[in-house]
Structure 1
Amino acid sequence: MLEVYLFVNPLGEQCVRDEQNVLRLANDSDKQIQFQFVPLLNINVIQKAMQRQGLRPTDWQAQNQQSQTLYRLILDYKAALFQGKKRGRNFLIAMQDALLQAGQTYSESLVQAVAQQCKIDLEMFMEDRNSDLAKQAFHADQRLASEMNISEASSAVVFDCDHYDYGVLLEHFTYNTLFDLVNGQLDPFHDLNQHTPSCANLDDTQLHVL
């Protein structure tokens, strides 16, 4: 069995495409795959989100607002996950559709409407999204990212549960690269200098052995 961790900016359009690629992979591959969408929040993620919106990186008020919106959205996602991985994943995707595709603004009413749409117990959800448990889950995700040396969203880490000697980090990956790696058609150690096993370039994709 394989485990795939996809580190995402919940408000990143590229991350939405990467999420779709991981979901597609789980359907297309003959291998058993478990996957998690892990939200990432750091200054790099915030500044890139501001850049996409045409905001100046020195606009501290906008930066703070962007940070707070991402943080609240991540806590919402963690609270939805408490009611099951599928519901949590559906909630994240539905919020991304509303915010990125429909152009809606993040608000309490939108969050509640999407939660109900995803058949989430609203009373439990509203309590969980403000809980210490949700905040602890957020901090656990950021520690995981740090342990895996993740600094940018749209990064995926693939582990083979039968061989935990190493994991493979993919940055700027395509569906085909991810598919080939998961299905054993791509050897991350191939042609790497054994003294410097850092990465191999495949088109724009970066592979790093962890």
Structure 2
Amino acid sequence: MLEVYHFVTPLSADSIISEKKVITYIKQTSQLVSYRMIPVVTMQSVRDTYQELKMHKSLNVDYAIVAQNLSQLALDTKAVQSQGKKAARLFYDKMQELLLANVPYSKSLVLSTLSKLHLDTNLFLEDYNTSATISALKADQNMAATMDITNYPTMIVCDSNKDKYAFKTSDFSTNGLSLIFNPVQQSNNDSSAPHLINYEEGSN
């Protein structure tokens, strides 16, 4: 089985494209896959997203609002996750769509979006901004730091057939994803194969 940890930046075009491509490959692969999409918000990711969004003349872009939107979306998605990973992804995808259409972030927008997606608004309100949700979000951010994730999007893929090893890749091309989800026999000298990390010895 593959365990996939997909680290993304909310509202980043590259991350959004990678999310759609990875889900497509997971649906097509014959392998069993456990998938986690993990939104990460850092000072660098906020700056990069702000610069990217500034290029869209149709968007009203303010640095403080971008930072707030990214942080709030990551937190709210974590709160929705108690309703399942699929529910969290549906919410996250819809909120991305709305925010990129210049809809202001608000609690009423979140609740109306949850309702339209037939998700439990009361459960969200129970989980929203609790210490448990905040701790879970911090754990995700710490995981990214521990795994030395500095570029987004990046995936860590743990293969149950290779107990100590994981693939770390930022290659979301057709060839790159095929090597992971539709593996073929690779020679040890194949430079196109994903980078192996031995977590017992520490990441390279």
TM-score with structure 2 setting the length: 0.85
Work out the number of aligned pairs and report it.
192
Deviation at 1:78, TM superposition (A): 0.5
1:85 corresponds to which letter in structure 2? K
Please tell me whether residue 123 in structure 1 is matched to residue 122 in structure 2.
Answer: yes
Shift of 1:9: 0.9
Q: Name the CA distance, whole Å, in 2 between partners of 1:37 and 1:168.
A: 16
**Cα separation, 2, equivalents of 1:169 and 1:85:** 22
- Does 1:32 find its partner at 2:19? no
1: CA distance between counterparts of 2:13 and 2:144? 20
SS in 1 for 2:145: helix
What is aligned with 2:87?
87
Residue equivalent to 1:112: 111
1:27-176 correspondence to structure 2 within 5 Å? 27-54=27-54, 62-100=62-100, 102-176=101-175
Q: Which residue of 1 aligns with 2:17?
A: 17
> What is the letter of the counterpart of residue 209 of structure 1?
L
CA distance in 2, matches of 1:172, 1:48: 19
Q: In the alignment, does 2:196 pair up with 1:209?
A: yes
Distance 1:103 1:176 in 2: 34
Letter in 1 for 2:133: A
Q: CA deviation at 1:186?
A: 6.5
SS at match of 1:104: coil
- Residue 109 of structure 1 aligns to a residue whose secondary structure is helix
Whole-angstrom CA distance in 2 between matches of 1:145 and 1:186: 30
C-alpha RMSD of matched pairs (Å): 2.1
1:165-190 C-alpha deviation (Å, 9 max, x unpaired) = 11111114213311222322264x73
1:118 Cα shift? 1.8
Question: Is the CA contact 1:8–1:38 (under 8 Å) kept in the aligned structure 2?
Answer: yes
Give the Cα–Cα distance (whole angstroms) in 2 for the partners of residues 39 and 74 of structure 1.
6
Deviations 1:63-121 (Å, cap 9, x if unpaired)? 44322221111111001111111111111111112122x33222222111111122221
Counterpart secondary structure, 2:163: strand
TM-score with structure 1 setting the length:
0.83
Unaligned residue ranges in structure 1 (runs of 5+): 56-61, 193-199
Kept in 1: contact 2:179–2:194 (CA 8 A): no
Q: Is the 8 A contact 1:9 1:41 kept in 2?
A: yes
